[in-house]
Structure 1
Amino acid sequence: MTKASAQIDRLNATKARILDAAREAVALSGWQEAQIASIAARAEVATGSVYRYFDSKADLYAQVLARVSQREIDVVAAIVDSEGSAAQRLVDAIYVFSNRALRSRRLAYALIAEPCEPEIDVARLKYREALAAQIGRLVTQGIASGEFIEIDANLAASCVTGAFMEGLVGPLAPEAGSDTRAAKAIAQSIASLAARMLFRHAAPKLKLVSKRTL
């Protein structure tokens, strides 16, 4: 390894460490309360060093959001691309997304709905659009197979995505606390309700407990 490549690796590792620290800070207190000084301390760098890697606090947070949300999109995409009926995969995708969100409720709120700076909101909109696009793929398949009602797939995906996100972090969303069983029950209910709005006929027999790996 050359000196230059070693330097690049060190810079990339430090940037990743800052991003990890920022994610932890946001998961604890949200966008507004997380401070650069505490993030730098978590990452074991000087506060000023953070700005060597990020143009601003908003830029750092936008990159945190993009990094975390891509992982969630990848999980949903893997379910969309798996085998099984469109209805079952839709329930599974919503269930897994919801369960993961409920396991880190504060972070989910930051990713989905917390008031934030414009740069973060732009990144968040891209995240929501990407998630709705994955749901839209399933809707298209379900319409083609006759499982779902005939409807504009993009509109349906937008409605379904909005429904389960509201159920997770909206003002009337149920509180699961740290109870894992309660979180799973809530995730199952959200998945079932959000998916059923698309069913062409009476609800098919679907697994009430997804066995997919979270």
Structure 2
Amino acid sequence: MVYRRTEKVEARQAQLRQTLLNSALQLVAEGGFGALTIVELAQRAGIATGTVYKYFDSKAQLCAEVFTLGTEKELARVREKALAEGPASQRLLNAVESFAVRAIRGRRLAYALIAEPVDPQVDTQRLKYRQAYAQIFQQLVEDGIRRGEFPPQEAAVSAAALVGVIAEALVGPLTWPLDGSDAVIDQPRLIEAIQTFCLRAVAGSNAPAGAPRPGQRMP
């Protein structure tokens, strides 16, 4: 007779799998992907080490899924700010501020998601989500062009450049506390500098009169 799992058993297993992912994400937030070990994860979940492999074929797969879990949350917030109602220029500033503020607040996790060297499976997911961020900014830039806020341009190229600028501008500051240095992030100044560069890059000399200034608080 073939054994079939009941819905109750499947629900319990799905819940444990999600608990493992959440715990793994917390480990990465505390110490990066280097702190995520199967042994530590099993101890936190109160299960045997071998049991973890019933839910994940390898640590590489686990890391890739943890990356996806963490990045999806940030992607959703950027999408919310970038594609909301209102002037495209203001939405650009809001999206940059939202991403940067959260990255600085959770700098260990942010560095792990943006730049920490990990397994190739994570690099594959990293590329996928950079493209997802670029698609959001492309929609924003195209809307700005239609509204006359931004000059005609290759929106896809501008969007990819924005993603690169935001990530690279944050990597250094996010690394400072991790390398034992005494550097302190001047959050308002850093965010305003990134906002200014991004707005200038897509609006150029055609930035509309009365356009929002970088550093303004989000509505």
- Quick check: TM above 0.5? yes
Aligned match for 2:198, one of 187, 194, 200: 194
Structure 1 pair 109–22 and aligned structure 2 pair: CA distance change class (3 A): same
- What is the match of residue 181 of structure 2? none
Alpha-carbon deviation of 1:11? 0.8
Structure 1 pair 151–17 and aligned structure 2 pair: CA distance change class (3 A): same
Q: How does 1:173-192 map to 2 (within 5 A)?
A: 182-192=186-196
Percent of aligned pairs with the same amino acid: 36
Per-residue CA distance 1:89-148 (angstroms, 9 max, x = gap): 011011101111111111111111111111111011111111111111101111121211
SS of the residue corresponding to residue 57 of structure 2 reads coil
Q: How does 1:127-206 map to 2 (within 5 A)?
A: 127-170=129-172, 182-201=186-205, 203=207, 204-206=210-212
Q: What is the one-letter code of the residue matched to 2:217?
A: S
Aligned match for 2:34, one of 27, 32, 35: 32
Alpha-carbon deviation of 1:17? 0.9
- The answer to which of 127-136 and 198-207 deviates more is 198-207
Structure 2 unpaired stretches of 5+:
179-183
2: distance between equivalents of 1:79 and 1:34?
A: 31
Per-residue CA distance 1:52-73 (angstroms, 9 max, x = gap): 1111001001001111111111
Structure 1 unpaired stretches of 5+:
none
Q: What is the one-letter code of the residue matched to 1:93?
A: A
CA contact (8 A) 1:76 1:93 kept: yes
- What is the match of residue 8 of structure 1? 10
Structure 1 pair 200–188 and aligned structure 2 pair: CA distance change class (3 A): closer
1: distance between equivalents of 2:29 and 2:103?
A: 11
Provide the alpha-carbon RMSD of the alignment.
2.4
CA contact (8 A) 2:107 2:174 kept: no
- The answer to which of 180-189 and 104-113 deviates more is 180-189
- What is the match of residue 210 of structure 1? 217
- What is the match of residue 122 of structure 1? 124
- What is the match of residue 82 of structure 1? 84
Alpha-carbon deviation of 1:7? 1.2
User: Per chain length, whose mean CA-contact separation is higher, i.e. which structure has more relative contact order (CA < 8 Å, sep 6+)?
Assistant: 1
Runs of 4+ in 1 over 4 A off after TM superposition: 172-177
TM-score with structure 2 setting the length = 0.85
Q: Number of paired residues?
A: 208
2: distance between equivalents of 1:34 and 1:174?
A: 19
